[in-house]
Amino acid sequence: MTSLGKPIAHESACDHVTGSALYTDDLAGRFPGLLHAHPVTAPHAHARVVALDPSAALAEPGVVRVLGPADVPGENQIGPARPDEPLFPSEVMFHGQAVAWVLAESEESARRGAAAVRVDYQPLPATLDLEAAIAAEQFLTDPLRLQRGDAAAGLERAPHRLTGELFVGGQEHFYLETQSAIAHLDEQGRVFVHSSTQHPSETQEIVARVLGLRKHDVTVQCLRMGGAFGGKEVQANAWAAVAALGARLTGRPTRVRLSRAHDTTLTGKRHPVLGRFEVGFDAQGTLLALRMQLFADGGWCLDLSEPIVYRALFHSDNAYRIRDVELVGRVVRTHKTSMTAFRGFGGPQGMIMIEEIVDRVARTLGIEPHQVRERNFYREGDCTPYGQVVRDPDRMPRIWGELTASCDYFERRRQIAEHNSRAPHAKRGLAITPVKFGISFTTAFFNQGGALVLVYADGSVQVNHGGTEMGQGLHTKMLQVAAHTLGVPMAAVRMMPTQTDKVPNTSATAASSGADLNGAALKVACETLRARLAEVAAPELGAAPDELVFDEGRVFARSRPERALTFSHVAHQAHFQRVPLLATGYYRTPGIQFDKVTGTGKPFHYFAYGAAATEVEVDGFTGMYSVRRVDILHDVGDSLSPLVDRGQIEGGFVQGLGWLTLEELVWNADGRLATENASTYKLPGLGECPPIFNVALLGRASEPDVVYGSKAVGEPPFMLAISAREALRDAVAAFGAGAAGVVELASPATPEAVFWAVERVRRSGSKA
Amino acid sequence: MAIRFTLNDAPVEVADFDPNTTLLAFLRGRGMTGTKEGCAEGECGACAVALVERDARGNTRYQPVNACLLLLGSCAGREIVSIEGIAQGGELHPVQRAMIDRAGSQCGYCTPGFVVSLFAEYYRPGRTEVDPEAIAGNLCRCTGYRPIREVAEGLGQPGDDDPFRRRLALAPPTLEPVQHRSGAGRFLRPGTLQGALTLLAEEPGAVIVAGGTDVVVEVNQRHRRHRSLLSLENVAELAVFEQSADRIRIGAALSLTQIEQHLAGTVPLLAQLFPLFSSRLIRNRATLGGNLMTASPIGDSPPALLALDAEVELASPSGTRTLPLSDFFTGYRQTARKPDEILAAISIPLPLPNVQRFYKVSKRVLDDISTVAAGYSLRVDGAGKISAARLAYGGVAPTPARARDAEAFMVGQVWSHELVKHTLPILARAFSPIGDHRGSADYRSTLIVRLLEKLWADTSGGAA
Ligand SMILES: Cc1cc2nc3c(=O)[nH]c(=O)nc-3n(C[C@H](O)[C@H](O)[C@H](O)COP(=O)(O)OP(=O)(O)OC[C@H]3O[C@@H](n4cnc5c(N)ncnc54)[C@H](O)[C@@H]3O)c2cc1C
Ligand code: FES
Ligand code: FES
């Protein structure tokens, strides 16, 4: 009996509940002489740093050093994609940007020191507004394009057309553990960094770059993160670099931990996006042609914005076939923090646009939105606008059918209509929406994973792989994969902290790919070891090596299960016989490619599918609402770990719900983020958890080319929350008299946004 | 003077400390890193610890609070359980087991806080079903809450030999006065009102702190540093609750949780207000006195108390004066309190109005600050005629305020939909709210009238 595919708890659950699970900053007490760093932040959204005088700071008790551009031994540059991110800027590009850092004996002294640093700024004009930046043509890349057929002609030919636009707001990651790093010099004087990073290899690279070292002089470890969601993919690097610089210059261990307000004002967010679209369709709601521009607010520098906008374009079809398509993505530069990766990586922004469009088409025609959705699903043989064949297109209708049945969709639509006819002030809405999400990094070379497995002579095992644990349960799945493949109990396997000196040149743990890439690599390493151990055990069992079964610490011939050796015994024998008990594993995803010039290729290994039906109730007096019930059916292939997968689905849904409803980023006119902490930026709380929350995993969905038939699950469920937005729109529409036509609803659909939507519907209803 | 307290059954002594230090910083500084910081402003609950306290019914209980807002000085004499003290003798606690079994943790960063809240709920005296708010002051960014909610709903009962339950059979620690003076500053915690007034007079710069849920947020977020803090948490006269024939008198330093328990739903306006006011973790510390003294235009108790015609008592060395609450707020975050005065009590006259309603419009239903709040009360006689009306609002003016013209218009008329319609234009002229990140000026203006319509819709089916 193996634990693979069994509902087991997170491998650290016991440490979580007792408080003994350590996160980067929890290690602070282990470093005597630790220095604390505090940023000197700029009070302008755009300004030149004219002079920086640290003398008053150095006079503050406890202040040890002030770090500025002149202190950088290597490059003053941390940009991951393009050298456009100085660690210590001479030109301030967003409000609150750090221009220097103060190191001191205590946090309090560092803060006082930072307040005492005198900086003279020459304020410069700032562009904060997305539309103003578009008008001024402030772009960070050339246009990104996907095109198929002739959209202009398709629109021309279409019996019906409509144009519109939708702005969707950004989202703060609000991982509960803020960004942190502790750097110290190791026994050989080289740099060791504990970092809360999704991408230790890149953190290592940036630290080396800033310090002017080679990578082998820098080791980065990530024990675990208290959430990341993409926010620690490239944006963990700066803090590690500051800590490492402090350690290198002072010889003392140095700690950076951002306060919540610093975290939200210094780090990037999900891209706010403005979509402008024109769609052609027929009288049944069949989508015929789409022309759309997506303008993503990239903030001040490039960051990961290009692949993010590509992913937005790649998901602008969601699950729907559209013949003639012309999609253009633009990364707009504004004087805000640099927008960055966030669960879904642009996919949600693309997908919400097409769902918006489908709903508008349906309401324009007076057809039920779920019918228009279903009518347009991809069919066998279809390709996406970027030319990738849609494999398993029947998954979507299957999910649709099973879910509408299990959640009693049609009967509930009827009941809701009845309820709404009786309740003038509280209307209910119900909507079902699909998700088709492409899995793989769209930048092909990231699609590789590595592992290192060590078997000790007593049969205990250490496992290393390139992925990081941020709560998504990757380590749990990897332990299951390792234990299953080696045929040992979970308890015999120890997961080692992710460290750059175990597996080099790793990819970020991102794009939902952590388990696919590292799991496949780990499986290879374990298979290598098992094969060697089989050679050792075979003579003793009097059987051929390929006849042996490794199962939960026992090794036996399939034909004679009663005669078994212990795994420990075999390991011991192997050592004695000089058989190597360490192995690496490596995996690269086959067949991934994408040509930016033609906008075609196969950027994804496969698609993950799902659908959700959500019911809401809206109060017509205030616009306040509640989610009454959610039903989800989601495709995770053969689940490696059902509890983990269900957790990802539910957590992703609620996080998506936050993005689409409560979570509103507000910047003041001077560019300061007004919603910088939990009191002003509202995450979903317990009250947002749907009282009825049914989640099922799709059966018969094994994915042939992925580790043990599984599928990635981190990101796709996030977009299931679009059903909640559509349910709100459905409820809003019910306040109108009869068929209301297009129902505009701002995003996020805060109570205020819903309130105004209701007002509009009522007004148009009274005119009719 | 050193302070002493009990932490997870072990004595702790702190000889010298800065009075602005929080328990959270202290714990983490001592290497007890199970208690986490997620926001340092009382919103996320990752820092929850439990205090052994007496509840309003006289039972000893574990009271979960936010360590990020609990001053170290306030810990003097207390018995505190942190996450490290919950598993006993290497055995996981039942709530910890349940969190594991139901996959209640993903990244695990919020988990210690949830465990502490669940632990406190597990031992809540007289618990028959779960307090739906027991974990509403804890945020989780990973799980979506469903598994944690199921843990809360599935709590069993502690056994007879449960050491924590046995602890609760005994009295909580009694708090002694504290006079901590050191180079780093002063933390003063008198035991009597007289003592508090004297200290206030002697230390004119002293900042009063009751529950600290506003004061310590300022310390953490705005980096306010006080030389001298005067804590009211142990002043006996400020912790009274009295009900007589003609009024209810509530001590200014009673926690909102205690008030909730004392009132047990008898004042509908407040019963509707409490679940919408912050979270359980905050209400276990926050006081009514603090809420009125903060005088925030978006404070929630003022509209409710204005609608109840509450009065405030201000004590000074020269005696006590009483003021209608409607004369108390003098400007943006300003009150009629004089520097030598302490807000001692809030009184609600009886009998209560027969129609009462509290509305709070906010982004998030639980634990959010109001965009607009309204406290409404009407005295309607047998013939349906209104003899008194109070339409009080928060979030629409620089101070909490009543719409007096509209109130006057309603008096003497029959409570009807017609009347509501005729009142709306008058109400619409009452205030000119501003817009901010919580809501636009237009939204607020419109809500002022819509909430009165809602009052009619909600109460016309039968008296409230
Ligand atoms: C997470 C969170 C959520 C919140 N949610 C809400 C909410 O939903 N609604 C709401 O209205 N508020 C909310 N608040 C604000 C706060 O909790 C309340 O204002 C609370 O009632 C303050 O009480 P306290 O005892 O903690 O005040 P403290 O912080 O101790 O004091 C507040 C102020 O009053 C003064 N003061 C206190 N008591 C007296 C007294 N007896 N005499 C003279 N001066 C005194 C203090 O000097 C200080 O200026 C929230 C706060 C937090 C941190
Ligand atoms: S740290 Fe968030 S409530 Fe204390
Ligand atoms: S488990 Fe990550 S915040 Fe709750």
A187 and A69 within one domain:
yes
A558 and A667 within one domain:
no
Phi and psi torsions of A673, nearest 5°: -75, 115
A557 in any annotated domain: yes
CATH number at residue A98: 3.90.1170.50
A694 and A552 within one domain:
no
A639 in any annotated domain: yes
For residues B124 and B152, what is the distance between their CA atoms, to the nearest angstrom? 12
- Is the minimum distance from the CB of B213 to ligand 1 under 6 angstroms? yes
B460 in any annotated domain: yes
For residues B459 and B464, what is the distance between their CA atoms, to the nearest angstrom? 6
CATH number at residue A469: 3.30.365.10
Alpha carbon of B81 to those of A494, B104, B119, B120: distances in Å?
32, 21, 10, 10
Q: What is the mean pLDDT of residues A20-27?
A: 98
CATH number at residue B215: 3.30.43.10
A731 and A692 within one domain:
yes
**How many residue contacts between A and B have a Cβ separation below 8 Å?**
231
Nearest CA to ligand 1 atom 23: B290
Q: What's at B315, amino acid-wise? A: A
The reply to whether A105 touches chain B by the CB within 8 Å rule is: no
Structure token pair of residue A482 = 């390792």
**A677 and B43: CB-CB below 8 Å?**
yes
Provide the domain limits for residue A725: 273-442+596-767
A151 in any annotated domain: no
B71 in any annotated domain: yes
Structure token pair of residue A269 = 């967010």
B72 in any annotated domain: yes
- Nearest beta carbon to residue B108 from set A111, A226, A622: A226
Residue finishing a domain among A266, A290, A324: A266
- Is the minimum distance from the CB of B133 to ligand 1 under 6 angstroms? no
User: Would you name the residues of A annotated as active-site residues?
Assistant: 715
A739 and A647 within one domain:
yes
A301 in any annotated domain: yes
Cβ contact A632:A696 at 8 Å: yes
A150 in any annotated domain: no
B277 in any annotated domain: no
A703 and A669 within one domain:
yes
Q: At what angle do helices A200-211 and A237-250 cross, to 10 degrees?
A: 40
- Nearest beta carbon to residue B361 from set A23, A471, A751: A751
Quick one: pLDDT at residue B464?
35
DSSP B352: P
B293 in any annotated domain: no
Ligand nearest to the CA of A21: 3
- Is the minimum distance from the CB of B85 to ligand 1 under 6 angstroms? no
A482 and A402 within one domain:
no
B182 and B164 within one domain:
no
- Is the minimum distance from the CB of B210 to ligand 1 under 6 angstroms? yes
**B144 and A651: CB-CB below 8 Å?**
yes
- Which atom of ligand 3 is the closest one to the Cα of B107? 2
A202 and A306 within one domain:
no
B67 and B205 within one domain:
no
pTM score of the predicted model: 0.98
Quick one: pLDDT at residue A739?
67
**CA-only gyration radius of chain A, Å:** 27
Q: By CA distance, what is B360's nearest residue in A?
A: A622
B332 CB-near residues (< 8 Å, 6+ apart): B297, B398, B399
Q: At what angle do helices A751-767 and A722-733 cross, to 10 degrees?
A: 40
Cβ contact B3:B73 at 8 Å: yes
- Is the minimum distance from the CB of B47 to ligand 2 under 6 angstroms? yes
Provide the domain limits for residue B209: 178-237
Q: What is the ipTM of this complex?
A: 0.98
B435 and B408 within one domain:
yes
Residues A41-88: pLDDT tens digits?
A: 999 999 999 999 999 999 999 999 999 999 999 999 999 989 999 999
Ligand nearest to the CA of B46: 2
- Is the minimum distance from the CB of B37 to ligand 2 under 6 angstroms? yes
For residues B235 and A544, what is the distance between their CA atoms, to the nearest angstrom? 83
Q: By CA distance, what is A30's nearest residue in B?
A: B31
B98 and B212 within one domain:
no
Q: What is the mean pLDDT of residues A369-396?
A: 97
Residues with pLDDT less than 70, chain B = 461-464
B453 and B397 within one domain:
yes
Q: Give the confidence band of A682 by pLDDT, cuts at 50, 70, 90.
A: very high
Query: How many domains is chain B partitioned into structurally?
Result: 3
Residue finishing a domain among A232, A266, A300: A266
Nearest CA to ligand 2 atom 3: B42
A98 in any annotated domain: yes
A605 and A628 within one domain:
yes
Residue finishing a domain among B135, B168, B201: B168
The reply to whether A751 touches chain B by the CB within 8 Å rule is: yes
B152 and B52 within one domain:
yes
B220 and B130 within one domain:
no
- Which atom of ligand 2 is the closest one to the Cα of B43? 3
The reply to whether B443 touches chain A by the CB within 8 Å rule is: yes
Query: Does residue A734 sit in helix, strand or coil?
Result: coil
The reply to whether A311 touches chain B by the CB within 8 Å rule is: no
pLDDT tops 50 at residue A353: yes
Residue finishing a domain among B138, B168, B198: B168
Query: Does residue B142 sit in helix, strand or coil?
Result: coil
The reply to whether B41 touches chain A by the CB within 8 Å rule is: yes
The reply to whether B83 touches chain A by the CB within 8 Å rule is: yes
3-state secondary structure B367-381: CCCCCEEEEEEEEEC
Residue finishing a domain among B237, B262, B282: B237
DSSP B74: G
A138 in any annotated domain: no
B209 in any annotated domain: yes
A614 and A570 within one domain:
no
B44 in any annotated domain: yes
Put simply, the chain A residues between 63 and 82 with a CB less than 8 A from any chain B CB are none
B147 and B41 within one domain:
yes
Structure token pair of residue B358 = 């509290």
Quick one: pLDDT at residue B165?
97
Residues A595-631: pLDDT tens digits?
A: 999 999 999 999 999 999 999 999 999 999 999 999 9
The reply to whether B368 touches chain A by the CB within 8 Å rule is: yes
The reply to whether B46 touches chain A by the CB within 8 Å rule is: yes
Query: How many domains is chain A partitioned into structurally?
Result: 3
B82 and B102 within one domain:
yes
Half-sphere exposure of A629 (CA within 13 A, CB side): 17
B16 in any annotated domain: yes
Q: Give the confidence band of A766 by pLDDT, cuts at 50, 70, 90.
A: low
A317 in any annotated domain: yes
Put simply, the chain A residues between 538 and 557 with a CB less than 8 A from any chain B CB are none
- Nearest beta carbon to residue B143 from set A18, A29, A650: A650
For residues B219 and B201, what is the distance between their CA atoms, to the nearest angstrom? 23
Kindly report the nearest CA distance between residue B101 and chain A, in angstroms. Answer: 6
Kindly report the nearest CA distance between residue B457 and chain A, in angstroms. Answer: 8
With the most atoms of ligand 2 within 8 angstroms of its CB, the residue from B47, B219, B281 to mutate is: B47
Residue finishing a domain among A238, A266, A294: A266
B184 and B143 within one domain:
no
B196 and B140 within one domain:
no
B65 and B98 within one domain:
yes
Quick one: pLDDT at residue B1?
79
Within its chain, how far is the Cα of A643 from the centroid? Answer: 19
CATH number at residue B9: 3.10.20.30
* A-interface mutation test, from B21, B88, B107, most A Cβ less than 10 A away: B107
CATH number at residue B365: 3.30.390.50
Q: Give the confidence band of A768 by pLDDT, cuts at 50, 70, 90.
A: very low
